Amino acid sequence: MEPSATAPPPILTAHLFPILERLLIELLQSLESVEWEAQTIAPKWKVKDVAAHLLDTQLRKLSIVRDGYIREAPAIASEGDLIAFINQLNAEGVAVYGRLSPAVLISLMDFASQASAAYHLSLDPFAPAVFPVSWAGESQSFNWFDTARELTERWHHQQQIRLAVNRPGSMTPELYHPVLDCFMRALPYCYRSLPATEGTLLQFDISGECGGTWWLSYENSWTLAAHPTGHPISKTTIPPEIAWRLFTKGIDRASAETHIRVEGNYRLGSHILQMKAIVG
């Protein structure tokens, strides 16, 4: 079998930011006082903490990528160093913005969301990004990938809030499919240490109207194939309500394993349980 090495097309998502951010503001405006204190699937964060994190990361990124304001940072010599630094920044941001009232938090988020959406829309999607998408193993990324990564961050944290307060609204094909498509770009990096014979093809399906099919082929290394040929030796199916949680550490792998279905080579098909599409 000879899978095609043709890569999937870029994911252009800048136009989705105003839609997703409007949904976030409307969601937060609808919350009752008790709902701000609801526990999310992030063990250390309640709803208000997640909202504070969303404000902090948006303002921090605007300061760096739009305004060129970069404070001194520690030397990053490994992935562990990066994770520790990001976790430290996130904890500090939640501590600061978590002190604000919901009304003040929402007003600042409305401002930051509009500024961030305008910034992403202004970018040349095929110019080099300030930040690489490290969880996909890249040391240099295009803007389109960094923007899509940012959409996954905004979407999955909003979804954490929605799950905690039982509010539907963002699991739509328009918003969730590009998030999933971006997550799945981490597959080659996740599988990088697994050997396989030349021409091996794996299939990954996320079910439902928001999902789709992705193929991973092995030709000297693992690559995503947009138009593969041949027959896959495994087919892994993941429910849409589990997929985003699996890739963002929102469910433990043992629990996620009970929800996925692998046909064929289980060792290769189930390795996706190790995939992570966030830093931290």
Q: Which of 159, 161, 131, 166 is nearest to 145 (CA)?
A: 131
Domain boundaries, the chain: 14-171, 185-274
pLDDT score of 186:
98
Residue where the block lists tokens 């940012």: 150
Are the folds of 14-171 and 185-274 the same?
no
pLDDT score of 3:
36
Find the helix or strand (DSSP H, E) in which 202 lies. strand 201-206
Residue where the block lists tokens 């903490």: 49
pLDDT score of 1:
31
Walking along the chain (280 residues) 10 residues at a time, the average pLDDT comes out as: 63 98 98 98 97 97 94 80 88 95 98 97 98 96 98 98 95 98 98 95 98 96 92 98 98 98 98 95
pTM: 0.94
Domain covering 185-274 in this structure, CATH number:
3.30.1050.10
Cβ atoms 211, 243 nearer than 8 A: yes
pLDDT score of 48:
98
Write the pLDDT tens digit of every residue in 18-42: 999 999 999 999 999 999 999 999 9
Cβ atoms 17, 121 nearer than 8 A: yes
pLDDT score of 80:
86
pLDDT score of 5:
46
- Quickly name the fold that domain 14-171 has: Four Helix Bundle (Hemerythrin (Met), subunit A) (1.20.120)
Helices (H), the chain: 17-29, 47-61, 79-97, 102-122, 143-165, 173-183, 187-190, 240-247, 253-257, 266-269
